[in-house]
Amino acid sequence: MAYDTLDRPKSLAARLDAELRHAHPTSVIAAALEQFGDKLALVSSFGAESAVLLHLAAQVSKDIPVLFLETGMLFGQTLDYRKNLAAHLGLNDVRDLRPHYQDLATADPKNDLWKRDTDACCHIRKVLPLDRALVDFDGWITGRKRFHGGDRLSLPVVEQADGKVKFNPLANWGKAELDAYAAEHELPAHPLVAQGFPSIGCWPCTQPVEEGEDVRAGRWKGLEKTECGIHVARAPGAVVNLGGDI
């Protein structure tokens, strides 16, 4: 493994971004794997565009751990898609990350926190489970893209976040490239895409998108919220456990 613990995440990320900012996504994934080996994970929602990144990663290695946030509020179609797509691509290490029981009992005993505080709901169902899982990794891969807009418009290919190196292999790709790649490799689509869902999260906070709207317009519609929180930098020493280790 080429990763040198003396090469701090910030300087390493800057160097890798300079080297990889125009590279093909498979080259970015290969470089990430070369740097971090078994300390690298890929985070996937198994959503509308996930098949492309997962297929690209599988061309590099089918053994890269894939972290899937099973919030307990996903569409049934997403759970089926996760199972079927993982088998189709031959992914060997897909890990379902679930919120801790005590966190839910403490903060969301009636499963209705999403109605009152979407940020808090995402925190216990997504942010905390991912933070716990990422303790075992030094680098991770995401499926974010600049064309999604919002805070993602200036997205680098490689960045430093919360002391880890984060790779965004598809940052440079637009919808045309994604669609062409999916068609070329005959990748199965998420079943909700045909029903007008170009971006898919938890069922209470995801709606179909009208023609002409932004790809992520159906996420937390009517709110200023545009991210669930897993891609938002947190203060050093932030608490990552509301309840206990259950």
For residue 80, give the H/E element and its range.
helix 76-89
Q: What confidence score (pLDDT) does residue 210 get?
A: 78
Q: Which residue has the higher pLDDT, 217 or 115?
A: 115
Over residues 202-231, the pLDDT tens digits come to 999 888 887 776 776 767 666 666 666 676
- Closest listed residue to residue 191, CA positions, set 200, 183, 181: 200
Q: In the predicted model, what is the mean pLDDT of residues 44-72?
A: 97
The enclosing H or E element of 191 equals none
Span 181-185, average pLDDT: 97
* Predicted confidence (pLDDT) at residue 63 exceeds the cutoff of 60: yes
* pLDDT reading at 233 higher than 70: no
* Catalytic residue of the set 121, 122, 205, 228: 228
Q: Within the chain, how many helices (H) and strands (E) appear? A: 9, 6
What pTM value is reported for the model?
0.87
**Predicted pLDDT at 227:** 62
Can you give the three-state secondary structure of 113-127, one letter per residue?
HHHHCHHHHHHHHHH
Under DSSP, is residue 183 helix (H, G, I), strand (E, B) or coil? helix
Judge whether 26 and 34 are in contact, CB under 8 Å.
Answer: no
Mean residue pLDDT across the chain = 87
Query: What is the residue type of 131?
Result: D
Confidence of residue 237 (pLDDT cuts 50, 70, 90): very low
Nearest to 44 by CA among 8, 121, 96: 96
Taking each helix axis from N to C terminus, what angle separates 50-60 and 76-89, rounded to the nearest 10 degrees?
A: 20
Q: Known catalytic residue: 205?
A: no
Distance CA 55, CA 182 (A): 9
pLDDT at residue 245 in the model? 30
pLDDT tens-digit map of 121-177: 999 999 999 999 999 999 999 999 887 766 667 789 999 988 899 999 999 999 999
pLDDT at 165: 96
Question: Residue 73 carries which side chain, given as an amino acid letter?
Answer: M
User: What are the E-state strand segments in the chain?
Assistant: 40-43, 66-69, 94-97, 139-141, 158-161, 164-167
The predicted model gives 16-40 an average pLDDT of 97
